[in-house]
Structure 1
């Protein structure tokens, strides 16, 4: 499945997976084509969330072997990422890793391509604010193009940039992480 913002390009999903700390529960918001989820070692419990029913249906239809293999530990849901994360029971989930790959900010895009469910700048701030307030047992990776919105909203988080091949050519992709090399959670923003 080809999906705007896909991480399936050579080198992209590998860079993200290489930064993942040990975890018992994996949550991938804004699932899209699920390139990272499909390629990482599965956790004990795996959640994929996307607000677009067509995207979730395409993921389910396109990956029957993956769904069968993880049948008892995989949950793919249609829903809003922020609402899902707000309601999730982190206390009983062990070590949690959230990988969040929201729609690219409009200001960082080089094409006019659009998602079926866009994010406003306010939606980005709402998501990032929630991710900054996660409990201590939750590690977070957020991906996107370099952005002052993300840099300012994620103070104290480490980041890495790398080159990614897109439909429009080579772009710089960036990931922000709330834990240092080695996996312990870094700065928390208290609100």
Structure 2
């Protein structure tokens, strides 16, 4: 009877120990699972955070580089446009603009619809400035004096050098008529368009007067 009770007690204790061990193992496994899950979650969160941070940093860098490139392009375009506008202005001024004195004389002569007609060209040299029109010329000396040139006297002076002509610039408009011919005074002489009496016209240049 005593032996039987002892065996039952031992069996009960053994069963209890197995249950406790199983419970402990279950708790350990749950704890391990929880730890693993926490670690995985933490790692995932860290990885996700790192990826997000990396993506954000990359996007920021790309945006910065894009902004920088846009700024550089814009500055280059401005320089190029600034550089293109400046050259065009210089070229136009050298080829076709009348000074105030020349413009005033041109306007007084009737402008484009007047006897001189439309402006063709403006050139300058050491002697002064020569403006060429459809039907004549205007010269401007260094002191701003403007003098007209027309007809065959103007043609002769221009063909013989213009601003480089040994006669220099005209000092007064031409005078004369078809019966007696025309004459014009220059800085270093006179230039006349004369008839030899036989109906032949030619230029007569007198220097040093």
Category of TM-score, reference length = shorter chain: under 0.3
TM-score computed with the length of structure 1 as normaliser = 0.23
Higher helix share: 2
Task: Please identify the structure whose Cα radius of gyration is greater.
Answer: 2
- Relative contact order, CA 8 A, sep 6+: which one is greater? 1
